[in-house]
Amino acid sequence: MTEESSLKKALPSLLLITITIVLPIISSGLVLLKALENGQGLYELSIWHWGLLALIAGILMGLAILPSSVPLIAGAYYLGYKWFLFYLPAYFLALSIGFFMARFIENGTLLKLAESRPKWKAQITRLQGRSFAMVIMAKFSPVLPFAFLNVVCALAGIRYRTFIAASMIGMLPRALLLTYVAYNGNSMVQLLENTSPAVKWEALGLFIVSTVGMVFIWNRSNRKKSLIKTE
């Protein structure tokens, strides 16, 4: 298989990954504008309305139209800790939509290409072997986009149950911290634009934990692989 034919076959996967990075960035600006226009009215919404908003947010996050942090911050700012009870099932829905949508669109192309490329296959196999811990650490990160991670996990052949369990565990620290910061924030504009000092410190701490954790897990798998070869 030539490099050109491999690139053509991998194009849908690359395009899907690009969309999951770019689209949420664009849409988050539109959400910020709408929040500024209708912010006061959000205080008057009933619990049922918030439930409907959570459902819509889950669908939009799953389709890579909305970043996961935007509905969390906006909801917690107006509704407080109660919003977290709505956000958890919305997050679960978004994970499932993003995962199965990626599998359906990409249809296993990346894994098929890896079969003819030993280096690709070796890296994917290593990722699958450490998938639970790696996904948890990746979900800690405030840098890696939500939809991007969902797509990468789906394309890498990680099992759905492993992906869901690790994602729900990994999102908790960041989600709880953001809920606390948003509920006690002075300005939703600062929060959504990530200019709040509390948001910056929270993001820095989680980024360090996530990066160190992923590097440690990956290096540990390398050491185990080396030991197996020497034996």
Q: Give 91-145 pLDDT, tens digit per residue.
A: 999 999 999 988 887 776 766 666 666 676 677 777 777 889 889 998 988 888 8
User: Does the reported pTM lie above 0.85?
Assistant: no
Q: At what angle do helices 47-62 and 82-106 cross, to 10 degrees?
A: 30
Q: Are 114 and 124 in contact (CB under 8 A)?
A: yes
pLDDT band at 228 (very low <50, low <70, confident <90, very high): very low
Asked if residue 206 has pLDDT above 60, the reply is: yes
Q: What is the mean pLDDT of the chain?
A: 76
Sign of CA dihedral 119, 121, 122, 128: positive
Give helix then strand counts, H and E, for the chain. 11, 0
Minimal CA–CA distance to 90: which of 78, 105, 103, 76?
76
Percentage of the chain surpassing pLDDT 90? 16
- For range 25-34, the mean pLDDT: 57
- For range 197-214, the mean pLDDT: 81
Cβ-Cβ contacts under 8 Å for 91 (sequence gap 6 or more): 58, 61, 68, 168, 171, 175
- For range 65-92, the mean pLDDT: 88
Question: For residue 163, what pLDDT is reported?
Answer: 94
Q: Are 196 and 77 in contact (CB under 8 A)?
A: no
